[in-house]
Amino acid sequence: MKMLKIIRRCILILSLLYCAGPLVLAQDTEQDAKDYYKLGNIYYQQGRYKESEELYQKALDILQQKEITPAAGEQKIKIEKGTEETPVSIPQREVPAAQKANEPAEYIVGAEDVLNISVWQNPDLDKEVIVRPDGMLSFPLVGDIRVSGLTVTQLDQELTEKLKEYIKYPEVSISIKKLGGKKVIVLGEVMSPGVYSLTGARNILEAVGLAGGFTNHAVASSVVVIRGGFNNPKAERINLTKALTGDRRQNIALDSEDVIFVPKKFIANLNYFLTQVLDPLSKGVYTSKELRNW
């Protein structure tokens, strides 16, 4: 019964913070509630149920201090004491089939992505191409091809097949130069590593939350953030343990193409780390052997 109560309390907080539409609430108050909720999630995943219950209650107490008034056009919600026992339906984020099967997951090509495509011994076909908003790209000899929704490997196979009509045994190589839209990559010891789209301003804790939170092996005090995209990457170390306990200087705002890597052990040499992970990342693979070994 106690476990059920914790889960219901978690669901209620989640529904109030994220599923009720835009809310008029003091920014600091809302952020404090979110921080308590996220830390409670981490403790819950680690089996520290007493601590998680206390943190969920702190978040709930903050929200229960006042009536939350939605923005214009949204349904009004009033928080009453004791409502944590009311069941709430929360939409679940779909986990890609490849991740369910523990297979190597790959980046899905989308609009505005910039790709480097080359064909061995055919320098005239070495091109930097942009995926158009309609999900198509243009490539010599094959013309327009729909690529949106394909992995990098699938696109490689598609181009190889189409080029066989003109080139004997074509060897195609594709790498990602720039991610289209506002996306970040969350890797390492998180529940669902992958690429996530940002809506509005996002910080590093919110990105980890989108990826399902930390695993039991996460070293949150030594998270590595790679900034500058694939063209000018620079790595820095962030202490999310401090961020989770209230140090907001560590909970940095994210930019498009940032990579967040949660390690399972302290990474001493960040420059060496960059040389090992950038190549598989540029090829769209974010659960390769190189990444898993860190």
- Tens-digit pLDDT string for the chain (294 aa): 445 455 555 555 544 544 444 444 454 566 667 766 766 766 665 566 677 777 777 777 776 664 444 444 444 434 344 444 333 333 333 334 434 334 446 788 988 889 999 999 899 999 999 999 999 999 999 999 999 889 998 999 999 999 999 998 899 999 888 888 888 989 889 988 888 887 776 889 989 988 888 988 899 999 999 998 888 889 999 999 888 888 888 888 998 889 999 999 888 888 888 888 877 777 776 654 545 555
Q: Rounded CA gap, 3 and 173, in Å?
A: 51
- pLDDT computed for residue 21 by the predictor: 42
| pLDDT score recorded for residue 114 | 92
pTM (2 d.p.): 0.57
> Candidates 3.10.560.10, 3.30.930.10, 2.40.30.10, 3.30.450.30; correct CATH number of 183-286?
3.10.560.10
Instruction: Locate CATH 3.30.1950.10 in the chain.
Output: 114-178
The answer to whether the CB of 216 falls within 8 A of the CB of 210 is no
* pLDDT recorded at residue 4: 44
Among 3.40.50.2000, 2.40.10.220, 3.20.20.70, 3.30.1950.10, name the CATH number for the domain at 114-178: 3.30.1950.10
β strands within the chain, DSSP E: 23-24, 69-70, 114-119, 127-130, 136-139, 143-146, 172-178, 183-188, 194-197, 223-227, 234-238, 259-262
In sequence order, the β-bridge partners of residue 185 are 195, 259
CA-to-CA separations, 156 to 23, 126, 127, 141, 235, in angstroms, rounded: 45, 14, 14, 15, 29
pLDDT of 145 reads: 92
Tokens of 125: 């076909």
């109560």: which residue's tokens? 5
Is the separation of the CB atoms in 201 and 147 below 8 Å? no
